[in-house]
Amino acid sequence: MPVKKWKRPFIFIASVLILSALVYWQFFSGDLEAAETSSKIISIIVGAMFLLGLVTSIFGCDKCVAKVCGSA
């Protein structure tokens, strides 16, 4: 797999943006739908996936990220 240097920063920025949006949606919006249990469970699952992406972008090597993300 070719190692590209742009993948780790891209994963970092995307993960931070999505996690920030989830936190805003769950805790700072006045939306009554956000208080439901099902939306909180979905938010936790999506947040865990993007938190894993954030950890991978910080601590993962470029070769490992290239293996997971493909040859783009």
End-to-end CA distance of the chain: 9
Quick check: 12 pLDDT over 60? yes
Determine the average pLDDT of the residues in 35-47: 79
Yes or no: say if 22 and 46 are a contact pair by the CB < 8 Å rule. yes
Which residue type sits at 71?
Answer: S
* pLDDT range class, residue 41, cuts 50, 70, 90: confident
In sequence order, the 6+-apart residues with CB closer than 8 A to the CB of 40 are 26, 34
Burial of residue 18 (CB within 10 Å: 0-12, 13-18, 19+) is middle
